Structure 1
Amino acid sequence: MDAIILENIRIYTNHGCLTEESKIGSNYRVDLKVEADLSTSAESDQLEDTVDYVHLNAIIKQEMAIRSKLLEHVGKRILDRIFNELDMVNFAEVKVCKLNPPIGGDVEGVTILMTKHR
């Protein structure tokens, strides 16, 4: 199966369980991989024959802008939108990483990884 991968989408938003996180916000990184048959678009060179990565990026930005306590909740929303809006996608994997999380230690990031199949 062919894939389209969006890497290192950087977003500043306010997810988290702590009140401070909702007010201050923090930096996040999102990576997305979707699998679809890209053979038609490889031949036709037409946008309507592929999964538009601009559309994928818009879904990520819109869902990341909606506050959630848990990264898992955001990840599920991203996956659900992809499968509701893009019929060509057969599989998707999303990673949502909170950079420098407030967990009382020197941790670069905490990441959730979620997948969904059609």
Structure 2
Amino acid sequence: MGIIRLKNIRVFTNHGCLVEEEKIGSDYRVDLEVKADLQPSALSDELADTVDYVHLNAIVKEEMAIRSKLLEHVAERIIQRIFRELQMVTYVLIEVSKINPPIGGDVEQVTIVMEKSR
């Protein structure tokens, strides 16, 4: 078993419950960890035998571009799409952070963390 991590995927999009968030948008950060059997690719040196992190990054960016009211909702979509498109992945841990959230205080970021196995 092995782990692939994508750290600090930065996107600008418009998630949130407030009308202002939909219009103005915000900066977001996504951290992703997946587990899969990396031994075949370690031996073969072939991309076809591993989880392509370019594909993982594309899934995150495409799903983050679809508006959701809740970060949990977009995180769940990302997890489900990873499981659907990348059969080698057995576990996903995702953190979705809203940078400078509009919550009436000096808060650097709000983060939700979700994990799922199959």
TM-score by length of 1: 0.99
1:105 shift after superposition: 0.6
Residue 100 (structure 2) pairs with residue 92 (structure 1): no
CA offsets 1:62-113 (integer angstroms, 9 cap, x no match): 0000000000000000000000011100100010000000001110000000
Match of 1:13 in 2: 13
CA offsets 1:6-29 (integer angstroms, 9 cap, x no match): 000000000000000000000000
Which residues of structure 2 form unaligned runs of 5+?
none
Identity across the alignment (%): 69
Once residues 64 and 15 of structure 2 are traced to their aligned partners in structure 1, the CA distance between those partners, rounded to angstroms, is: 8
Which residues of structure 1 form unaligned runs of 5+?
none
Match of 2:30 in 1: 30
TM-score by length of 2: 0.99
Residue 83 (structure 2) pairs with residue 66 (structure 1): no
Q: CA RMSD in A?
A: 0.4
Once residues 2 and 111 of structure 1 are traced to their aligned partners in structure 2, the CA distance between those partners, rounded to angstroms, is: 25
Task: Report how many aligned residue pairs link the two structures.
Answer: 118
Q: Which aligned segments of 4 or more residues in structure 1 are displaced greater than 2 angstroms?
A: none
